[in-house]
Amino acid sequence: MDPEVAIMKIRLYRMVPAALLTLLAGVCLAAHGQDIKGGAGLKSLELSTDLSPSIKIEPAFVSSVHAYSALVDSTTVKSVRINPVPLLKQDAVTINDAEVSPAKPFKADLRSGENTIAISVASPNQNSVQYTVTIIQKDLSGQYKTELVQNGIWRISDYAGFPPNQDAYLIEGSAKAVLIDTTMGKGNLAQLVKNLTSLPVEVAITHGHGDHIGQMGQFAGTVVYMSEKDKGMLPATLDTSKFQWVKDGDKIDLGGGRMLEVIDVPGHSAGSIMFLDSAGKTLAVGDAIGSGMYVWKFIPGSSSVAEYGDTLKKLESRLAGFDALTFLTGHHWQERVPLAGASGKQMVADMRILCEKIISGEIVGTATSASIGARKINVLTASYGLAGMWYDPSNIQAKK
């Protein structure tokens, strides 16, 4: 461009009246769906439940799109919180004629099938915009969602991946495949696995809690790798004749250079173990360090915070040589940030630091409540960096 022409353009821009700039700004806002006359519209629209911090809506939210839908599981979700945020603070928002605000989300009780929610945004000059959200409540307990994590590794999510679902992982070698955990969905998990791989399949269990062993009965006669420390959690009717009780350092050879190494990480349960795939740079963690939101350290069988901290130091040392590592978490939907690359290792370090700060008293958790079956118990919740923990305040120091 000619320098004189460029200088002339700069001078002309500087001469543009403020009123014209305001008009141009208004045109830009209109292009994003904001009403030029009154500014009515939504800036964001979020759906959630106590267990699902974010429910996906279709299509992805854009202010100029006024109709959305969401699918929820009828067996676990009976109501949904709806939080619409207006573009302008002075605009009034109502849902089904009830006034709402970001500090006061709307609770919608659901019935089976389609539930249509009407959202109205009105500006002070009476301009208004209408939005609708159709929430479809459906039994998803028999459905699975599969995702290829990397070549030869699939994530299998029960309840069609709808939170609070569980995740299993199918890992292939050249000679056989291993299914890590069996979730608690009600579908035909064994057939799904057969559809994914033609190799013989064995099972590995990260720990004995019901949401990770729920469909083990579908794999009767299959070799199962598990820590014997969690054996007491298995159903009394389950045939354990094919079980191989593994411990820290044991290895499962899948062929083709793919090996799963067992790492003991007691804390969430006495028999919590991880499976390290050095070739694929993945670590199947179950619930041993949580899945990004918190680790439960208050349930029966949990070690003290001090003992858990010592375990994490050993885990850090074992993982020190990896420049990148993808965590295969037991509940992928809980990941606030993807636990891949450096973030997974950072979460382990943050969890160890959190333990140290709880032990020293530098961090004192906030009182909350949790349930074990029908029994309500009081626990503390605390966080540091990427790590979070729910713990029993009477179980901080190791028992002598």
Q: In sequence order, what DSSP letters do the residues of 205-245 get, joined into one string?
A: -S---HHHHTTGGGGTTS-EEE-GGGGGGS-TTS--TTEEE
Could you tell me the fold of the domain covering 42-138?
Answer: Immunoglobulin-like (2.60.40)
Report the distance separating Cα 31 and Cα 330, nearest Å: 42
What's the confidence (pLDDT) of residue 399? 76
Angle CA(229)–CA(233)–CA(234) in degrees, nearest 5? Answer: 105
What's the confidence (pLDDT) of residue 374? 63
Return the CATH architecture of domain 145-391: 4-Layer Sandwich (3.60)
Query: pLDDT tens, position by position, for the chain (400 residues)?
Result: 443 433 333 333 333 343 333 333 333 333 333 433 446 899 999 999 877 778 989 999 999 999 999 999 998 899 999 999 999 989 999 999 899 987 788 999 999 999 999 999 998 887 899 999 999 999 999 999 999 999 999 999 999 998 889 999 999 999 999 999 999 999 999 999 999 999 999 999 999 999 999 999 999 999 999 999 999 999 999 999 999 999 999 999 999 999 999 999 999 999 999 999 999 999 999 999 999 888 998 888 889 999 999 999 999 999 999 999 999 999 998 998 999 999 999 999 999 999 999 999 999 999 987 666 666 778 999 999 999 999 999 999 987 6
| Position 359, amino acid | I
Q: Do domains 42-138 and 145-391 have the same CATH topology?
A: no
Q: Residue ranges per domain, the chain? A: 1-31, 42-138, 145-391
Residue 203 CB: number of other CB atoms within 10 A?
Answer: 23
- Three-class secondary structure of residue 368 per DSSP: strand
Q: Which of 146, 163, 189, 183 is nearest to 73 (CA)?
A: 163
What's the confidence (pLDDT) of residue 58? 95
